[in-house]
Structures are given as C-alpha cells and as structure tokens.
Structure 1
Amino acid sequence: MEAPREGRGGGPRTVTPAEKAQARQVPLRRVGALFGAHRRQLALVVAIIVASSVLAMASPFLLRTVIDQALPERDLALLSWLVLGMVGVAAVTAVLGVVQTWISTRVGQEVMHRLRTDVFAHLHRQSIGFFTRTRTGEVQSRITNDIGGMQTVVTSTATSIAANLTTVVATAVAMVALSWRLSLVSLVVLPPAIWLTRRVARMRREITTQRQRELADLNVTIEEGLSISGVQLSKTLGAGPALVDRFTASSARLVDLELRSELAGRWRMASMSVIFAAIPAVIYLSAGLPGAAGTLSIGTLVAFTALQGGLFRPLMGLLNVGVSVTASLALFARIFEYLDLPVEVDDPARPVPVDPARVRGHLRFEDVTFSYPGSDTAAVAGVNLDVPAGTSLALVGETGSGKSTLAALITRFHDPAAGRVTIDGVDLRDLRLADLAAVVGVVSQETYLLHTTVRENLRYARPGATDAEIEAAARAAQIHDLIAALPDGYDTVVGSRGHRFSGGEKQRLAIARTLLRDPRILVLDEATSALDTETERAVQRAFDELSRGRTVITIAHRLSTVRDADQIAVLDHGRIVESGTHQSLLDRHGRYAALAA
C-alpha cells in the first residue's frame, strides 16, 4: 500500500513507486563499478597524489631547520639550500597537482559521458508504454539535471578522497614525528567531527531527493507550457497566468530547497572551524606548562602549528566528501532506477537473419490477443488475419474497437500476450527491431517533424540518401513543387513540430520520408482523417504512389478511402466481426453496411 506524503497544497499525497525506488539504498560498490574501466588512470592519480603529499611534508621539517639552525647560526649556505628546497617542493607539488587534475577530470567526464549515453540508449529501447506513462520533462530531468548534479562528485570524489586522505595521514605522521604529545591534543577533535559529518550527510541526502524531484516538476512545466502546442493551448484557454503561477510556485520551492541544501549543517561545520582555530592556542599553552618547559624547541613548535593548521583543510575536505557522496546517492538512485528498467520490447537473443530487400511482405495475425497494462479488458482478442504480399487490408470500426492496437502490434510498439504476428512466416519477436523498421513503414494521423530543415527531416528516414533521391521522393509524394517555392527550398527550417506547414503538407512530407525507406509493408493509421476533402484527394494521390507494390494496412474512419481494399476487416471491441470486400460486406447488411450508411 502506498504511503501518504505531504503534497504541495499541504494535504497528503501518494508516494509513487518511482519515488520509493529513488529512496532505496544504492550500494557504493555499484557506484565504484562506474570507474572500473579507468583503474590504471586512477592508480596513476593516486600515485601522483601520494608522491605530492609526501613531498609536501618536507616543508615543515625544512622550516624547523631554518628556525633552529640556519638563522641562529647565521649559516647563509644552509639557509640558501633550505629556501631553495622549500621553493622546489612548492613547484614540484604544483606541477603534480596540474597533471593529477587533468587526468582525474578526464576520467570523471568519461564516466559522465558513459552514464548519459547509457541512460539515453536504455530509455530509447523502452516500449511506447513507458513513454505513455512517463512525463517527458521527467525523462529530460533525469538525463540533464540528475547526471549534471553528480558531476562534481563523479569528477573529483576519487581524487579528493585520495588527496585529502593521503595529506591527513602524512600530516599526522609528521606531527607524531615532531611531538606525539602535542599530536594527541590536536587529534582529539576527530570523533565529534566524524559524528557531526554523518548527521549532515543524512540531511543533505533527503534534501537532494526533494530538490531533484522539484527540478523534474519544473522541467515538466517548461515542456508542457513552452512547446508550440502548449503555448497555443494556454492562449486559447486563457491559462497563461495560471501556468506562470504554477511555474513561480515550483521555482520558489526550488529556491527554498537550494538554501536548505547549502545551509544544511553549516552551523555544525562552523563550530568545527572554531574548535580547529582554538587548537593552536591550546598547543602554545601546553608548550608553556611547567612540565613541558624545555622539551620543545621554538622551531619544532612553529613547524608543528604549521602542520596542525594545514591539517584542517584536508580533514574537513575529507569529511565534506563523505557528505557529498552520501547526498549524491539520491541522484545515483534516480539514474540507476532508469538503467534498471526492464526492456519490454527488445531484440531477440537469437534473431532470425533477414534481408529487408528480399522480404515479400506476407503479413499474418494468428489468434492474437493483447491487453494494455492496468486494463482488465483485452484491446484485441483472438484476431486472425491473412494479408498476402502486395495486397491491401483495411481495418474499420468505431473508436476504441482495436484498429490502432493492431497497427501497433505490426510495428512491435507492443507484443501480443497470446498468439503471434508474422511476416513471411517469421514471428516479429524473432526479428531485430532495426530489420523490422526497415520492413514496416508507418504514416499516422499526427506527423512529427523535427525542428530542422526540410531536407534533414526527409533524410532522417535514410541518413545516406542523396539530394536527388530526396527530391525524387518529394515528387512522388506530390510535395516537391511546394518545397521548391519556399524561400530556402529544401533548406527551409520547418519550425517546431512542423507548424509552418498545413496538415496535408505535413502528411505529404511524411509520405516522402516513408518513400525514402522503401518498406515492403505500409501502415496508414487514419492518415487522412483530419484533412479536408480537397487536401485528402492530393494526399490520396501520394498514397497511391506510396502503396504501389507494397502490402498495405489502412486504418480509416472514412469508408470512402478503403472501398478499393482487397479485403476489409470490421472490428468491434477488439474482435473481428466481419471481413470481406467492400461490395460483399455491403450485401450482408451487417455492421459494415451500418457504418457505411
């Protein structure tokens, strides 16, 4: 049972399964596995860090020698060598720091690159059902905000841990070598510092989870409100002010979360700073006590306080890395949640080899049944159809009868729960998705065009197509003359989602795009239902060209567009209730005749 949470309006809201997944524990071993391919580079970085830290520890001992020997004895030669050594140590450690930063940043960016591409590629393999259930802005937020938010942790955490840990250990060893008694006084602050850091880390993780969720909501608002369709909707409904208020409220909550994230535990860290600053005073007091008089030289005391002062930065850095890593686990949880999504429709383990150019296009539905997730009623049930190669099948029926579901099964947007769909006797589930896409072409009612040129929109179907082939496809689709009349011809930018063009023009562009792929099976999913009669005639002529020599499955409300089909199947509540030619179905005076009346 889902637990209630406080909603935006102050009332309870339901915790979604995705939010539960985000709250799960992410094993550090899995995070560490991201760096597995870069072991050599990381080993080199660690070696550089260790060398740099050990080398830097020479400076306090050089300083002690300067104060206790070179200056009191006015030994200019020794002083010169000591000063030269101090400058040399600083120069070498600086160069090593640059090299270490370059290697570690490159490793981190390569890990980030792989994460981004893995998430994008994995999401691209998800079924249409996933994108139906998931908000577009949420998906974008995971790839941009979540992965971007972990950039600092990924690129610098390993090296920061190595650098700070090595420095702390080397400094502690040097402090003990100078005076083990004073070292005990200095290191007594560690237990409370670790305890406070663990509390801060837990606070940061909770806030990070809330912040990323709010960022996703903000992305959704932007996607829905500033897309061309969203702007048109808000303007026609007068919903602009409400949309701005929604965005403002979400942004204000994000400001509050950012402040809480930055200030989480700051007062605790501030108290630690005060304690660390007070330690040198305690050291001076300890050195001046009667029991310690004469046991420490001035040079040792100065060198020790210099080491102790240098211990604060790496120690706090090490503790802060722990805070950052713990907080970032919320981001890793969100990313791994997407990477762990099962692929509902995937390539088979052993695909049947097929040459798309040799496919005849014989399509069969064999006792096919399919239900959408969460539905108790089958969208299609017990469907049997045989469409010989080169013939046409029309699917008709009322809205919700299952026509588009059958089309989605042909393209493997979904897989049937029972039965099978075959092309030339091969189950679609045994074909590689790329091979199936080369065999089956789709022209739907809603044509999606990319925000780029006409030429690139057409070439999207076949990246290797020449300009001559693109123009030939446009001519066949009855759209070449219109494109040529545009200010920039084929280099004209179509605008967001192709809103520069009318519905009929976009349809003909989609037909030209499909012609470039030259599929053996063509699915026309209510492709002319939104067009006026004159435009429909022009598009239909393009369809006639596109359909020549192919197996065609047409879904239509207007029966005038399917009367010449070789066979017509009438669906009702997911079942075929009639099938035959246009005239034979009219003669039966059944469901088809009623639709045609």
Structure 2
Amino acid sequence: MSERDLAEESDVEYPFFYVIRHAGRRHLGLFATAVLVTIVAAVNSNLSVYVIGVGFDSVFSSQPLTVPLVPDTWVPASTEGQLWFVGGFLIVSGTVGVFMAIGKNVLWELFGQRVVDDVRVQTFDSAQHQELAFFDTHQTGDVMSALNDDVNTLERGLSKSARWAVGTSVTLLSALAFMAYLNWQLTAVVFLLLPVLAAINIHFSRALSELYPPIQRAEGRLNARMESTLGGMDVVKANGAEGVERERFTGRSGDLRDRSWTGTRKRIQQTPLIQGVTGLVLVVVMIVGGLWVIDGPPLFFTGTLTVGQLVPFLFYMRNMEGGIEFLSALVGIYQWVNSSAARIVGVRNADSRVAEDTDADPVERVDGDVAYEDVSFSYPGTDESVIDSVSFDVDSGETVGIVGSTGAGKSTLIKLLLRFYEPDDGVIRLDGRDITDLSRQDLRAAVGYVDQESFLFDGTVAENISYGEQGVSRAEIVAAAKEAGAHEFVADLDDGYETHVGQRGVKLSGGQRQRVAIARALVRDPSVLVFDEATSHVDNETEVLIRRNLAEISADRTTFVIAHRLSTVRDADRILVLDDGQLVEAGTHDALLAEDGTYADLWRVQIGEIDELPEAFLERVAGDD
C-alpha cells in the first residue's frame, strides 16, 4: 500500500481558520478581550505620538491644543499649563500602555495555549478513531510529527503571530487615522503605496504556499526515519548497521535542509523589497512635507502644514514601515502555519476515520455464536483479495484454531470480527446480529484480544491489566492475573502489582508480558477470546504454561486461536486452514491429518518431516517467497 500525505487528506480551503473556528469556540470571550485590549494599547500608543506633536505646536508655535476624545475644557489656556498637561497626559498614557501591554500578552498566550491544547487533544482523539487502514498508509512518525511539530507550530502562530497580526493591523489603521486627521493630502500619497505592497505580498504568498508543504512532508519523513531506527535499535546494533542508518538519516536530513533552504531563500527576499518601497515613499513624504513647512504647499497641495504635524506624521510612517514589513513577514508565517493546520485537519478528516455508531444497537449480553457469511476483504489501495469468500459458523463455547502459511489472512480474518477493518463483501454475525449494526465499543468489550506483540504501556502491572476498564477493583485484577497464570510471578516482583513495567514492558520477559496481556483481556470477562499468535515469541516452557492456561480460560468461552505452531491448536474443537485468503480445510487435528492436505503438509513442516512433503507444496512455498 502506498503512503499518503496528511495534507492531502485535508478537504478544506483554509485549514488554519478551520482549526481555529472549531477549536476556538469555547474561548471566544478570551479572544474578544485580547483583541479589545490590543486595540486600546495600539490606539493609546499612537495617541501619545499625536499629543507630542500638537503639544509641540501649542507650546512653541502658539497653536491651539486639541486632543481627540478630551474635552477642550480640560485643556489649560496658558502655555505653561499646556506643557504640564502634555507631560501629565504622557505619564498616564505610558502607565496605561504598560498595563495594556502586559494584559494583551497574557491574554493572547492564554488564548493560544488553551486553543492549541484543545486542538492537540482533539487531533490525538481523531488519530485514535481512525481505522487501522489509516496507519497502514501513513507512517507513525509522520502522524507524530502532526501531533507534535505541527501543533507546536500552530501554538506559535496563535499565541504570537496572531497577537502581532492583530496588534500591527490595529497600529497601522490607527496610525492612518491619525495621519489623515493631521493631513489628509499627505495620507493620500501614502495610500499609493498599498497596491504595490499588495502585489509583492500576493506574489510571495503564492510562492511560499507551494514551498512550505514539501518542507513539512520532509520533516514527517525524517521523524519516521528516527522512529523506525530508534524502535529497532537492537537490530541495528546486532547487525552493525549504525553506518547504514546514519546514511539513511543523513539523506532524509539533507532533503529537509535543501527544501528548507529553498523556502528560506524565497522568504528572505520579501522584507528587503518591502523596506525599499516603504523607504522610498517615506523619503518622498519627508521632502514634500519639509518643503511644505518651509515654503508653503508645493505642487497641487493646499492648506498649511506645521512642524508639529509633520514630525508625528513621519513618526507614524516610520512605524508603519516596520508594521508593513512585519505584516509582510506574516504572509510567510501564515503559509507555514496553514500548512501545519492542513496536516492537522488531515488527521482529523481522513477518509478512514471511523464513523460514530450513533444508531448502533447496544450489546447487553453475548453468548458467543460467530458466523462468517461469504466474507471478502482487500486492503485499501490494493486489488489483491486478502480474504476471499470465507464462510463458517462457530458455536458458543467452541475453541477454533486458525492456521495457514504466512500471508494466508489469519490475523486479518479476526481483525474483521473486531471491526478494525470493514469487509468489502459478506456479513459477520455475533449471536445472529450483523456486527456493523452493533456499537464498536460494546463489540470490542465482548471480545478479549491478545496479539502476538503483547504490547504493554509504560505503567504498573495493575494499570496494564485494568487498561481500558474503568472502576476495576484490585480483587478483579488479581483474579484475572491468576486465571492468566501471571499472579505468581507478579507477586514475586519487588512492588508486586505496582511494579512499573517500563516502555513496552521491557522490564518483563516475553512470557511475562504475554501473561499480563492475557490477564488484560480476561479482566473484562469477555464472551469471546482471540489469541493472535499468543505463543509466537515465547520459549517452549512458557508455551506449555500458556497452553495449559488457555485450556482453562477458554472452557466456557468462544475462543479463536491463531497459530503458526500447530501444537498450540491441536486440541481445538475445530481447526480452520487458510490458504491465500481462502478457507481450504476445516476439522479436528486428527481428521485434517487423515485428509493429507494443506494442514498435513504444515504439520510435517512442524515435526521436521521435510522429506515427506509433496513437490507441489514445496513449489508453492518457493513461489510465495
């Protein structure tokens, strides 16, 4: 199956705003407050500059002192009084500015972190609810990159870039308002700058939108390489392959470096262009304004212009230059954040996401009758049938072994029962009911599943046994451990059931992990048990112990045992033999040996009678390899 890009799973036009809209609803009040405080801070800062200018004219040029939103009756009539008024106003404005700056930073950080926390949890939950087919076509490292790197990028975009974008936009708009109030004719000259800046930003926005997604895909591939190498470190060291892995990692890292440099090389061209254009307009305004103050209105301009008006105007323009540069830089930041958001949306909206069982029938009691009716299945993206028209019935309490060569479809057959995948054709029934009509949660609660990896989480033995079950008592945990044959070795551990097993259970042996995994399946007292290669990674002594326990715990339960070691299933009530996705034989161990078919050939392989194998079997095995 080919790998798919997470961003391609996104089916929305503006992923960043899509994510914020869905995750930010609970925090609209915080967002509105942050925007309001940002507006007050920006207007207050620009108002101070205006007051300095008009104060200059008032004190040194005997011009009337007028301040927006301040009644004229509050302004002293004397020149000295106006000087003190301006000084007092600036002190109050500066104090307000300090509190507003602190307030807006706190509010934006809170908003960003709370929204991103919701996004991270929602995206993780979405990843959990994807079908297994999603993980067949997406590398784990790439998904982890979306959950970690892309979510962190989103956090920076929200808590910092969003704050700066709003703050800078308000600063620019309020500066333009004050500039128009000071002299609308010079402000009109400044407006000629906007179409040029817009054209530059549109160009870079389109270019960066094409350059950033490949960079993030390269990051995902690099993370996948690291995850794969570190996860198989014992194999790397056993084969002396550190050099090989270094070359592979260097290749992935070099690809990321080259793609990042391509994006950086384009991005760093944007700011100098913006600076050049805005700087040129600033020079024009300064020359025109200076001539206007000295000799009167030049060219087609009319009216008067004072030094107290020109100086704040130039100050606003200088601030606008920095603001415009930053907004232009935000174009690149937005494209980067938007690319991350697209990958996040890809995890959340992928086609393989499990649909909610809103209309599913509840499962109150399960007897354990299982029926496969002409079931077929192919993995997504492939045409090869893994399960081909398989039909059989299993009565409640029956133990059924499932055997076949590697790739015959044994594990896939049972994963269909758990609804890890959905059949392409046919029906699977539990107690006569189509399992697609049942709640997945209830269905899986009725089926205890033990796979060949015996995966344990980093926690205590008790936490692993009770995993997924709320309110399990210590007595129930111990009872499940005893039934699984795990209680004796757990009791001998230093901390007993509170012993930490380490990541993936590394502090326990393979047989111990297997028995803890069996106890985990038993603690919910399921009506159906599935053992998928439960003895494939243990020694012969541990296999004997597990087989003895299996015989006891499967006595009153419907049990499926998938095995390569045929000795594990020889005492099963019935054995199903799969070959290339088809059910080719069924019967007891002795009956299947008497048929002298596929099962008998597999048995000869197990007991070492290679010379007795038919030539057709050997040729088929060689062809499969």
Fold in common (TM above 0.5): yes
Which residue does the alignment assign to 2:33? Answer: 44
SS in 1 for 2:455: coil
CA contact (8 A) 2:16 2:337 kept: no
The residue aligned with 1:246 is: 248
Determine if contact 2:460/2:497 at 8 Å carries over to the other structure: yes
1:347–1:431 CA contact under 8 A, matched in 2 = no
Residue 57 of structure 2 corresponds to residue 68 of structure 1 = yes
**1:197 aligns with one of 195, 201, 204:** 201
- CA displacement at 1:269 relative to structure 2: 1.7
**Mapped partners of 1:331, 1:203: distance in 2:** 17
Instruction: Tell me, in whole angstroms, the C-alpha distance in 1 between the residues paired with 2:257 and 2:538.
Output: 47
Q: Measured at CA, do residues 375 and 175 of structure 1 come closer, stay the same or move farther in structure 2, by a change above 3 Å?
A: closer
Query: 1:102 matched to which residue of 2?
Result: 106
In the TM superposition, what are the counterparts of 1:315-464 in structure 2 within 5 Å?
A: 315-343=324-352, 345-355=354-364, 358-464=365-471
Give 1:315 deviation, angstroms.
2.9
Partner of 1:87: 91
What's the CA shift string for 1:358-398, capped at 9, x where partnerless? 32111122222223334444333332222221221222333
User: Which residue in 2 is equivalent to 1:5?
Assistant: none
Aligned residue in 1 for 2:547: 540
2:15–2:342 contact (8 Å) kept in structure 1: no
**What's the counterpart of residue 510 of structure 1?**
517
Counterpart in the other structure of 1:564 = 571
CA displacement at 1:274 relative to structure 2: 4.8
The verdict on how the C-alpha distance between 1:596 and 1:285 changes in structure 2, with shifts beyond 3 A counting, is closer
Gap change, CA 1:245 and 1:169, over 3 Å in 2:
same
* AA at the equivalent of 1:352: D
For 1:440 and 1:212, how far apart are their aligned partners in 2? 40
- 1:311 alignment counterpart: 320
* Paired residue secondary structure (1:419): strand
1:138–1:217 CA contact under 8 A, matched in 2: yes
**Any idea what the Cα deviations from partners look like across 1:493-542, whole Å, max 9, x if unmatched?**
32332233332222112112212121110112221234333221111122
TM-score by length of 2: 0.84
8 A Cα contact 2:363 2:443, kept in partner: no
Q: After the TM superposition, which residues 547-586 of structure 1 pair with which residues of structure 2 at under 5 Å, given as runs? A: 547-586=554-593
1:171–1:311: 8 Å Cα contact kept in structure 2? yes
Question: Structure 1 pair 171/360, CA: closer, same or farther in 2 (3 Å)?
Answer: same
1:17 Cα deviation after fit: 6.2
Q: Assess if the C-alpha contact under 8 Å between 2:8 and 2:346 holds in 1.
A: no
Q: Kindly tell me: are residues 176 and 589 of structure 1, through their superposed partners in 2, closer, same or farther at Cα, counting changes over 3 Å?
A: closer
Cα distance between partner residues in 2 of 1:515 and 1:376: 37
Q: 1:32 to 1:370 in 2, by over 3 A?
A: closer
- Opposite residue 244 of structure 1, the aligned amino acid is R
Deviation readout 1:309-344 (Å, 9 max, x if unpaired): 232233333333333223432222222222221236
Deviation at 1:72, TM superposition (A): 6.2
Q: How far has the Cα of 1:463 moved from its partner?
A: 4.3
Aligned-residue sequence identity (percent) comes to 33
- Provide the aligned C-alpha RMSD in A: 3.0
Distance 1:271 1:160 in 2: 21
In structure 1, distance between residues paired with 2:259 and 2:101: 34
Tell me the residue number matched to 2:622.
none
> Quick one: structure 1 residues 381 and 277, their matched pair in 2 at CA, closer, same or farther if it must change by over 3 Å?
closer
Distance 1:281 1:381, change over 3 A: closer
CA distance in 2, matches of 1:419, 1:487: 51
Structure 2 match to 1:226: 230
Which amino acid in structure 1 is aligned with residue 38 of structure 2? I
Note the C-alpha offset of 1:130: 2.0
User: 1:159: how far off?
Assistant: 4.2
- Taking the aligned partners of 1:512 and 1:452, their CA distance within structure 2 comes to 15
1:292 maps to 2:281: no
Secondary structure, aligned partner of 1:114: helix
Query: Is residue 511–residue 542 contact of structure 1 (8 Å, CA) maintained in 2?
Result: no
CA distance in 2: counterparts of 1:476 and 1:31, whole angstroms: 47
Amino acid aligned to 1:373: P
Q: Give a deviation string over 1:146-198, Cα, whole Å, max 9, x none.
A: 22222232334554443323222221121122223333444443332222222
Query: 2:17, 2:366 → 1: CA distance?
Result: 48
- For residues 201-220 of structure 1, what are the structure 2 equivalents within 5 Å? 201-220=205-224
Structure 1 distance, partners of 2:503, 2:490, is 17
Determine which of 132, 135, 138 is the counterpart of 1:134. Answer: 138
User: Which deviates more, 81-90 or 285-294?
Assistant: 285-294
Q: Closer, same or farther in 2 for the Cα pair 1:449/1:389, shift >3 Å? A: same
8 Å CA contact 2:511–2:538 kept in 1: the answer is: yes
1:183 paired to 2:187 = yes
Which residue number corresponds to residue 269 of structure 1? 271
Partner of 2:623: none
Distance in 2 separating the partners of 1:210 and 1:233: 31
Shift of 1:431: 1.4
**For 2:496, which of 489, 502, 517 is the aligned residue?**
489
The answer (yes or no) to whether the contact 2:209–2:335 under 8 Å persists in 1 is yes
Which letter maps to 1:51?
Answer: V
Question: Using the alignment, how far apart are the partners of 1:323 and 1:401 within structure 2?
Answer: 51
Q: Name the SS of the counterpart of 2:523 in structure 1.
A: helix
| Long gaps (5+) in structure 2 | 63-77, 605-625
- Counterparts of 1:322 and 1:387, CA distance in 2: 62
With 273-282 and 331-340 compared, the bigger mean Cα shift is at 273-282
Determine if contact 2:143/2:347 at 8 Å carries over to the other structure.
no
Check conservation: 1:202, 1:327, Cα contact below 8 A.
no
Find the aligned partners of 1:370 and 1:123 in 2 and give their Cα distance. 23
Seen in structure 2, the aligned counterparts of structure 1 residues 418 and 21 have a Cα distance that, compared at 3 Å, is closer
Q: TM-score, normalised by structure 1?
A: 0.88
Moved more, 462-471 or 132-141: 462-471
**Could you report, residue by residue, the CA deviation over 1:335-356 in whole angstroms, capped at 9, with x for unpaired residues?**
222222123654434111122x
Q: Do the aligned partners of residues 373 and 200 (structure 1) sit closer, same or farther apart at CA in structure 2, a change above 3 Å counting?
A: closer
Please say if residues 345 and 414 of structure 1, whose CA atoms lie closer than 8 Å, have aligned partners that are also in contact: no
Is the 8 Å Cα contact of residues 405 and 579 (structure 2) preserved in structure 1?
Answer: yes
Displacement of 1:108: 2.5
Structure 2: distance between partners of 1:174 and 1:108: 31
Cα distance, 1:594 vs. partner?
A: 4.5
